[in-house]
Structure 1
Amino acid sequence: MTLCKKIVTINALETKAISVLTPISERGRALPTYRQWNDALIEFFTYGAPVGSTIYLNVSDRTLQQIGEQFWGEAPQLDWSADYLAAVRTALVKDGCVFPEMVRGLDKQGRPQGAAFLGVLVLVAARMDSDAEQSISERDYFTRLNDALGTEPTNGQIKRPKHMSTGAEGEEPLWQVWAAYLRSRGYLPTASGGKGAWKYVGYAVSQTLIREPEKRRLFQVFEGRHWGTDPDPELLVSFLRHEDFLPAHVRTLLGRHGLAAEDVQHAVAEVYREWQERRHEDGHDARSAAHRVLSRHLQAGLYRSEHWRTGEVQYTLFPRQPRGLKLLDIQLSLPDGPQTLLVERPGYYAPLGEVTPTHLEAGLQVPLTGHPQLDALSLPARSFWTLRADPDNAGAFASLGRPTVGEHFLLLVRRELREDLLSFREQGLMQWETEQPWEGGWTEFTGVMVTANHWSDVGPVKSRELLDALRPASGISIGVGSGLRVPQLGAWLADAPPVPTVHAFFAEAFLTVSKDGVTLFAETVEPNKPVNVPWAGAGDYELSAEARGQGQVRLVKLLDWAELPAPSASLLGTVTKEWQASGEAYRLTGAQLKSGGTA
């Protein structure tokens, strides 16, 4: 039995040390434990993400600084990266050996125990200054990992840390647990291994969303443009799509669409803010400059509904939850008085306020209180809005990401852009059902759908941003309809599952449906026609569609009756009836209808 294996035996009896041992910094200060960092990382990278989003465990020195200040307070000249590494070393490293098996599986709250350890692997990759994934040397990577963990290499030839085996005995099971956890919550995991000997390094590199060389190129682009101090992330990505000489990896990321683009927009916006911070550092302390830029706005989109009685169109603010920032008791100063932001679904607050044509044209800043880093809710000034159908509210439309192939959506545009839309329709690129003037020079186009993918042939237009918003990033998508949807959770009842449809510009596509790693359906399907899928009860399903080298993945969650969330007492009413049948006790709670009175 080797020394490391003996230590495993000892550490196996000290599992509680992960949460009990408190690392001490060089300054003698008690630091957050491994478990506290683990919980903080999970919350930071998943909180505020809409269901269906991709999630990257994009740990860097910058994100660790943000996490440390957010969860444990700002402290001048504090190196949160060093404190984070100290917590991991205290919990998992002993006598030059590292023991990732100690954090396999889930904790009592159902969260992966290994997220903080995986974060170290990503941090090392993020610090390596290479503009190509495969150019990162495996030997160099593990040398740096040993430096970060304070571990020793296995031997003179193998640089992996002592006791950090490969395959099922190494870090790969931790990546698998992380991916399963994300899927169970409706998120798309993104970690994937490399090829050959580079396989395990590939997992970490795949999580470094925008690397240092790519940041430097983006900084150069930002220097030559005038995109404001706090641009709309969606428009910022749109602007970048028209830039030349971008790194190939960045251009691939910019091609994401729908909810799969959420992390990309967030990452690009963070790079833009980092560029602003560096510009403000002349003559100032870097940390105070960063704080000044972080005093920014919450972003809002639009929510469109119709009055239940008159049918009058109403536009309201649809605030976005900031990624990784849990906000409590945030109040907006609206004309009708202060209103508190309420989380309606993952990624979004409930609609509120009123949006007028003037607000659409000039933008809107609504003062808010409740968090030192935020001072206003911002609705950007735009000449058009693409609004997708709200799956939780029939007949309503909202800023829910970029529409996909085969999807009907609503387009609100300034009337001067109508000429572009007519040109697109004449070229067979899109169609719509109705055109209805709204107010103040705005027009609604309903039932809009993109019908072709030859957008690169389009000539000069008035709005390149409109063209970019309408042009599909992929020629294939997966839609789900029918069934009984569970509001706010993005799930369906297992007894009434949805019916998927593969939408594509091609003659055929291949659809695969799997659950818990088992393939239930794998057949060639006809695009744009519903597919009968052999669902296998409650659980998390992964749907994968491919056509002509293009692919799309979508997750579907089915719930049993017992898993349905209980409605609030205010919705249930106050009338209760109890009875027994077949030895079982039952209770029915609901509203009571009475004759007479006023509505």
Structure 2
Amino acid sequence: MVTYSDWNTALINYFTQNVPYGTKIYLSLDSDSLEKIGSSFSQKCEHESWAVSFCNVVRSRVVKGEKIDLSTVSYSDKSGYPLGVAFLGIMVLAANEMADDEDNKLDEKNYFSRFRKILCLPEDRQSRPKGLQIRPNEDAPEIYLWKEWNSWLFQKGFIPTAEEGSSKQRKYINYPISQSLLRNADKDRLRRLFHEKQWQTRWDEQTLFTKVANEYSTFTQHLKKLIDDRSRYESVAQVIHETYEDWLAEGSPNTLTGRTKRREWSRQLYAGIYRTEDFLGNIEYYLYPKQQKGRSLGSLTVEANGERWDLREDRAGWYLPIGQPLSRQEISNGGTYQINPNTQAEKLILPKRDFWILVPDPDNPESGVYASWSSPKLGEQFIILFRESLFTDLQRLRDENLIQWEGDRDTKYLVFGDNSDWYEVYQCQVLSKAWDAVFIQSAELKNELQPKTSLSISFSGGLRVPKKNNTWISDHLPQVTVFAFHPTVAVEITNITTNETVYSDQSFSTNQRHSIPNLTQGSFIVSATCSWQSAQGLIKVVTWDEIDFTSFST
């Protein structure tokens, strides 16, 4: 039998396994994700669905009579995982049931009415169920679990996103509501869109997001807000893509509402590209396979151009680059490569694209290596690999002072030889956030270059510890730069373990390097805020004695 602890561990792994350091984590649990998580258990489902099984298991753990008892989940397990995450997942499930027209009028009574139904608790004329009632001068009982979850995420190098609301009516229920990305109604609308458009191409997350955003006027208010919120871009693009993959796997039906079919993990892996340049200036690109979030796969090999290549982990979220250098034809047309054994995954897909945004190695920016790790951060210099047909769009963006690159507006560098139509521009940088009034031919290009936030934190210099995410030697700390469109921001540095503020500056100058105070060993979060915008960066400081030099050998 699958226990509460089994579910709790599986949920945490689903949202954090194979996820890059510094990623924002949303506990966006719904029936689809529960079916995928459940399918990974060795036991068979004893109920009509894994979602029902999960709710029953949580109910049996935390409900005593007609009262919720959080003492059963208010500690960590033997592995150090906070045991309250599965219960918090139930709270997010209730938020996913919200109808579109409830956003502006939802209060605790309406929210907990849904919550009660999931846990089979009776209505008793109280807004909150027994066991979750708020005592005078105290926070809501479940807030302790949310804070434990947020603290654990910080400790593991992730950025938590659950937070209280700004109004009295939404102060506490905003924690689960803030975690709900695509609600059930949103997913149904997307599936209908996919069916209406007869989309069957295996697009990557960014391309699909742009095509979905072009249908903006037909969406629910909640889905419109998600698309408008650039700070959630990568997370929302990912869940839209997961919904699309599920829809394709189900045979492209008109809707999946009311179905009890088992959701399965996608059998497709996707690849980005990895760029290298030698001292002679020779540039090569390689297949850069992405790992599936939340899923541990066995030993796999990929057949590429008549050769077999083992998939070996590079870092969280990515396998090592594989294969021979990509040809112009592969970059132009994309590619599909066989995976063996095909019991867990069948194909590795290199999407067909007219451009690639390549950013510096986040673990070693000075290495000279660029790849499609993520969208460029504000202030970050990057490379654009593009087909010649897009150069007019790039020049238009430069003329509008939205971006710049090395050289003048006509500067571009040919790659793949004399007969190629592929070029690069170097040291690209975003200059402005005023993109809304500018229109170019490639909506995908505009979407990926448009800044996701108005604030970004960068660390540079100092002495990094190899193969350790954002870790520096205490005697050689990095400098910190806050990139922003404002001249000053408020900055705080907090010790994650003790929650002690070790540095504070309410008028921190932006877009220039600053030395940070002499931090002792430990993990710290650097926070910048300005005009309701915020950004976080994580840094770990170690002493020489803590370094295992044997781990650096390959």
TM-score bracket for the superposition, by shorter chain length: 0.7 to 0.9
Distance (Å, rounded) in 2 between the aligned partners of 1:349 and 1:338: 15
Structure 1 segments unaligned to the other structure (5+ residues):
1-30, 572-599
> Cα distance 1:262–1:427, how it changes in 2: closer, same or farther (>3 A)?
closer
1:327–1:371 CA contact under 8 A, matched in 2? no
Distance (Å, rounded) in 1 between the aligned partners of 2:246 and 2:101: 19
Distance (Å, rounded) in 1 between the aligned partners of 2:377 and 2:553: 37
Task: Map Cα deviations across residues 536-561 of structure 1 (whole Å, 9 max, x no partner).
Answer: 32333222223344332222233344
Distance (Å, rounded) in 1 between the aligned partners of 2:70 and 2:193: 41
Which residue identity does 1:190 align to in structure 2?
T
Distance (Å, rounded) in 2 between the aligned partners of 1:111 and 1:235: 36
Q: How far is the alpha carbon of 1:493 from its aligned partner?
A: 1.9
1:295–1:372 CA contact under 8 A, matched in 2? no
Which residue identity does 1:135 align to in structure 2?
K
Is 2:125 aligned against 1:157? yes
> 1:191: which partner in 2?
162
Distance (Å, rounded) in 2 between the aligned partners of 1:252 and 1:203: 17
2:384–2:428 CA contact under 8 A, matched in 1? yes
Q: How far is the alpha carbon of 1:41 from its aligned partner?
A: 0.5
Which residue identity does 2:239 align to in structure 1?
A
Is 2:399 aligned against 1:399? no
> Cα distance 1:255–1:542, how it changes in 2: closer, same or farther (>3 A)?
farther
Q: How far is the alpha carbon of 1:422 from its aligned partner?
A: 2.1
> 1:213: which partner in 2?
185
Distance (Å, rounded) in 1 between the aligned partners of 2:116 and 2:548: 46
1:130–1:136 CA contact under 8 A, matched in 2? no
Distance (Å, rounded) in 1 between the aligned partners of 2:235 and 2:349: 20
Q: How far is the alpha carbon of 1:233 from its aligned partner?
A: 0.7
Is 2:242 aligned against 1:270? yes
1:483–1:492 CA contact under 8 A, matched in 2? no
Q: How far is the alpha carbon of 1:115 from its aligned partner?
A: 0.9
1:327 to 297, 306, 312: 297
- Quick check: 129-138 or 396-405, which moved more? 129-138
Distance (Å, rounded) in 1 between the aligned partners of 2:104 and 2:467: 41
Is 2:364 aligned against 1:364? no
| Number of residues of Structure 1 aligned to a counterpart in Structure 2 | 534
Which residue identity does 2:393 align to in structure 1?
D
Match of 2:457, SS state, is strand
Distance (Å, rounded) in 2 between the aligned partners of 1:134 and 1:398: 42
Which residue identity does 2:32 align to in structure 1?
R
Structure 2 segments unaligned to the other structure (5+ residues):
none
1:56–1:207 CA contact under 8 A, matched in 2? yes
Which residue identity does 1:396 align to in structure 2?
V
Highest CA radius of gyration, 1 or 2?
A: 1
> 2:394: which partner in 1?
421
Where in structure 2 are the equivalents of 1:414-493 lying within 5 Å? Answer: 414-433=387-406, 435-439=412-416, 440-459=420-439, 461-493=440-472
1:101–1:170 CA contact under 8 A, matched in 2? no
Match of 2:215, SS state, is coil
> 1:52: which partner in 2?
22
Distance (Å, rounded) in 2 between the aligned partners of 1:427 and 1:127: 43
> Cα distance 1:137–1:526, how it changes in 2: closer, same or farther (>3 A)?
closer
2:378–2:484 CA contact under 8 A, matched in 1? yes
- Quick check: 176-185 or 366-375, which moved more? 366-375
Which residue identity does 1:547 align to in structure 2?
C
- Quick check: 63-72 or 102-111, which moved more? 102-111
2:382 to 388, 409, 420: 409
Where in structure 2 are the equivalents of 1:77-476 lying within 5 Å? Answer: 78-151=48-121, 156-166=124-134, 167=138, 170-194=141-165, 195-225=167-197, 227-245=199-217, 246-255=219-228, 261-276=233-248, 280-281=252-253, 291=264, 294-307=265-278, 310-335=280-305, 337-353=307-323, 354-370=325-341, 372-393=343-364, 394-433=367-406, 435-439=412-416, 440-459=420-439, 461-476=440-455
Identity %: 31
> 2:513: which partner in 1?
530
1:48–1:322 CA contact under 8 A, matched in 2? yes
Q: How far is the alpha carbon of 1:328 from its aligned partner?
A: 1.8
Match of 1:509, SS state, is strand
> Cα distance 1:371–1:161, how it changes in 2: closer, same or farther (>3 A)?
farther
2:140–2:172 CA contact under 8 A, matched in 1? no
- Quick check: 215-224 or 475-484, which moved more? 215-224
Match of 2:468, SS state, is coil
Which residue identity does 1:538 align to in structure 2?
Q
Distance (Å, rounded) in 1 between the aligned partners of 2:382 and 2:228: 20
- Quick check: 324-333 or 485-494, which moved more? 485-494
Q: How far is the alpha carbon of 1:215 from its aligned partner?
A: 2.6
Distance (Å, rounded) in 1 between the aligned partners of 2:118 and 2:396: 57
> 2:480: which partner in 1?
500
Distance (Å, rounded) in 2 between the aligned partners of 1:448 and 1:187: 27
Q: How far is the alpha carbon of 1:499 from its aligned partner?
A: 1.3
- Quick check: 244-253 or 507-516, which moved more? 244-253
Q: How far is the alpha carbon of 1:510 from its aligned partner?
A: 2.7
> 1:27: which partner in 2?
none
1:125–1:141 CA contact under 8 A, matched in 2? yes
Which residue identity does 1:110 align to in structure 2?
G
Distance (Å, rounded) in 1 between the aligned partners of 2:98 and 2:392: 49
> 1:509: which partner in 2?
489
2:519–2:541 CA contact under 8 A, matched in 1? no
> 1:576: which partner in 2?
none
Distance (Å, rounded) in 2 between the aligned partners of 1:346 and 1:103: 29
Is 2:520 aligned against 1:547? no
> Cα distance 1:164–1:468, how it changes in 2: closer, same or farther (>3 A)?
closer
Distance (Å, rounded) in 2 between the aligned partners of 1:562 and 1:242: 54
Match of 2:176, SS state, is helix
> Cα distance 1:35–1:198, how it changes in 2: closer, same or farther (>3 A)?
same
Distance (Å, rounded) in 2 between the aligned partners of 1:477 and 1:570: 33
> Cα distance 1:468–1:164, how it changes in 2: closer, same or farther (>3 A)?
closer
Which residue identity does 1:86 align to in structure 2?
N
> 1:26: which partner in 2?
none
Task: Map Cα deviations across residues 490-510 of structure 1 (whole Å, 9 max, x no partner).
Answer: 222241222111112233333
> Cα distance 1:541–1:238, how it changes in 2: closer, same or farther (>3 A)?
farther
Distance (Å, rounded) in 1 between the aligned partners of 2:552 and 2:486: 50
1:436–1:445 CA contact under 8 A, matched in 2? yes
> Cα distance 1:257–1:145, how it changes in 2: closer, same or farther (>3 A)?
closer
TM normalised by structure 2 equals 0.88
Name the Cα RMSD after superposition: 2.8
Q: How far is the alpha carbon of 1:131 from its aligned partner?
A: 4.2
> 2:9: which partner in 1?
39
Match of 1:455, SS state, is coil
Distance (Å, rounded) in 2 between the aligned partners of 1:280 and 1:464: 25
Q: How far is the alpha carbon of 1:188 from its aligned partner?
A: 0.9
Q: How far is the alpha carbon of 1:196 from its aligned partner?
A: 1.4
Distance (Å, rounded) in 2 between the aligned partners of 1:277 and 1:63: 15
Q: How far is the alpha carbon of 1:286 from its aligned partner?
A: 5.6
> Cα distance 1:171–1:283, how it changes in 2: closer, same or farther (>3 A)?
closer
- Quick check: 432-441 or 211-220, which moved more? 211-220
TM normalised by structure 1 equals 0.82
